[in-house]
Amino acid sequence: MGRGMAKAELVRRARYFLRDGVFIEMLIWRVPSAVRGSRHSFKYSLALIVEGQCVLRYDNEAGKGDHRHFDAEETPYVFTSMDALIADFRADVKGWLDDNPEGEDREP
C-alpha cells in the first residue's frame, strides 16, 4: 500500500476447540472502506471446521457481500452489527453441535 493509505486493522483472530477435530475460527478486520457488496466497515470470516472440512462459514468476500455457507448451500446474510453476527454464528454452531452429538463438547 502507498504511503498515507489506511490499512485494515485486525480486530479479532481466535480459534476455539469445541471437540476433538472440531473448532471455530474467527477472523475480523476493521477496514477503511466497506468491502464491495457490504455496507459496513468490517471484513470477516467466521468458520466451523470439522475434521479439516468447513461445514459452516459466515463471510463477506468482495463482490458477494455478506453471506453464509452451510454445507454446500450459500445464502445471503443481513449484517446489522458485529455482536449480532457473532451471536448468529454461535447459534448456528450450537445447532450443528446439537444435530451432531457424537464427541464431547467443550465450552466455547
Residue 2 has pLDDT above 50, yes or no: no
User: Are residues 35 and 11 in contact, defined by beta-carbon separation less than 8 angstroms?
Assistant: no
- Rounded to whole angstroms, the Cα distance separating 26 from 103 reads 22
pLDDT-above-90 percentage for the chain: 81
- CA dihedral of residues 42, 66, 106, 12 (deg, nearest 10): -10
φ, ψ at 7 (rounded to 5°): -110, 160
3-state secondary structure of 41: coil
Q: List, for residues 29-77, the tens digit of each pLDDT value.
A: 999 999 999 999 999 999 999 999 999 999 998 889 999 999 889 999 9
pLDDT, residue 103, reads 64
State the residue for C-alpha cell 467466521: 46
The reply to whether the predicted model has a pTM over 0.75 is yes
For the chain, give every domain's residue range: 15-99
Mean pLDDT, the chain, integer: 91
